[in-house]
Chain A
Amino acid sequence: KAGVTQTPRYLIKTRGQQVTLSCSPISGHRSVSWYQQTPGQGLQFLFEYFSETQRNKGNFPGRFSGRQFSNSRSEMNVSTLELGDSALYLCASSFSPSGPQETAYFGPGTRLLVL
């Protein structure tokens, strides 16, 4: 079974630009969550999508948004990039039909550098 894939793996942007990251979950998984990981703040939950609906949301500004498609693939978008948005962005998928994630499988992440 193929794992969670994320594209691109590395990205360099400048302040003020926007970026879109993509995540393909494990086949059959309908829940996709996004996380930001930085040395200063650790791993922080951004949001979770299930069946194309945002089911849960962490404490991040509105510049961070996401969506999920009918095939469960998900994208997250960050607008008006700031230097502090430099981080490893991780996507995780799980089966989770009626409740929170349990066994979550993480992708390798997208490393974003904002200059």
Chain B
Amino acid sequence: EDQVTQSPEALRLQEGESSSLNCSYTVSGLRGLFWYRQDPGKGPEFLFTLYSAGEEKEKERLKATLTKKESFLHITAPKPEDSATYLCAVHLSGGSYIPTFGRGTSLIVHP
């Protein structure tokens, strides 16, 4: 069964303490991998789409990378406002589009 696993489930960092979140997948025929940020009580906010192994994208303190079986979301010198749940989702190649989401990583950044 195709699966998306995110780790760790929860992460507490001190402001300025860089770290990485992981999203591993067992699907075949990956068409795209998406990263979202979700704040409590709100809908997910799109961050990045990655399509092929070796691809990297950056936005402010966030950098997403993709290999053949996993993606990393690197957070450099995080600030308290980076606290949120980070979700990844994969989309398979083929005619239909049914995204599979991971359970998310809950990030708390302490000042």
Residue numbers of A with Cβ under 8 A of B are: 4, 42-45, 48, 55-58, 90, 92, 99-109
Contacts and interface: CB of A to CB of B under 8 A. Distances in A.
B32 A102 contact: yes
Interface string B51-64: 00000000000000
Interface of B: 31-32, 34, 36, 41-46, 49, 87, 89, 91, 96-104
A56 B98 contact: yes
A56 B6 CA distance: 25
Nearest to A6: B43
Nearest to B94: A100
A43 B101 contact: yes
Contacts of A106: 36, 43-46
Contacts of B99: 45, 101
Given A42-B104, A104-B46, A108-B42, 17 more contacts: A42-B101, A43-B44, A43-B87, A43-B89, A43-B101, A45-B99, A45-B101, A48-B97, A56-B96, A56-B97, A101-B99, A104-B34, A105-B46, A106-B43, A106-B45, A108-B41, A109-B42
A55 B96 CA distance: 8
Q: Which of A4, A104, A109 has the most CB of B within 10 A?
A: A104
B46 A44 contact: no
Contacts of B34: 104
